[in-house]
Chain A
């Protein structure tokens, strides 16, 4: 069981917006603004999409945005495109001995 909880799957049509939630605790998401999101296509390495809850690395589309409220972080993808279909993982720094935790991943299907 992953330390952070994500929905197993979400779906949307091209052009629509979707939001993926990532629920942790006061030991991780709720306390630290070190939440990051990763996109992973099948057979490929993860790619950083969002860091520090809301920041986008250079080269990442502004269709991707992040937010946080309490113990839950969220990734929103607007104007869905077929190439957005992938697995998405959240991650957070934690005060536990593990230091870094990931969510179980969410499979995004673009219908």
Chain B
């Protein structure tokens, strides 16, 4: 199992960014997927998840209306579109595979998003 995030970088407050996660080594379309973030020197925070066919999506309150999670099962890829970015969105963003309701069993290496002017 391998998860590889990309798309992070420096963006100004109010700006947008799209993160991608390329999955391999498992049947991507069989699993819920998550984004989890970690602000510098801080703990983990679940951001969003999406079910196998993309018909169900959930978000932490702080990103509702600003972030959109999506997936392309044909490309084995997970995405998050982040709009109206704020300083508090600065974090390493991890893509993770969900193991039912039991947790996240595989994680990518993360991609850093920095929101600053």
Binding site for B on A (CB under 8 A): 2, 32, 34, 36, 38, 44-48, 51-52, 55, 57, 89, 91, 93, 97-105
Contact = CB atoms under 8 A, between A and B. Distances in A.
A103 B43 contact: yes
Contact of B46 (A34, A51, A98, A104): A98
Interface of B: 34, 36, 43-46, 49, 58, 60-61, 94, 99, 101-110
B106 to A, nearest CB: 8
Given A44-B109, A51-B102, 4 more contacts: A47-B107, A51-B103, A52-B102, A98-B46
Given A45-B110, A46-B94, A97-B61, A102 B46 contact: yes
B108 A98 contact: no
A102 B49 contact: no
Contacts of A104: 43
A61 to B, nearest CB: 16
Secondary structure of the B contact surface, majority rule: strand
A34 B43 contact: no
Contact of A91 (B44, B58, B61): B44
Nearest 9 interchain pairs by C-beta: A36-B103, A100-B46, A45-B107, A51-B102, A51-B103, A105-B43, A102-B44, A34-B101, A104-B43
A48 B46 contact: no
B107 A46 contact: yes
B41 to A, nearest CB: 10
A32 B60 CA distance: 19
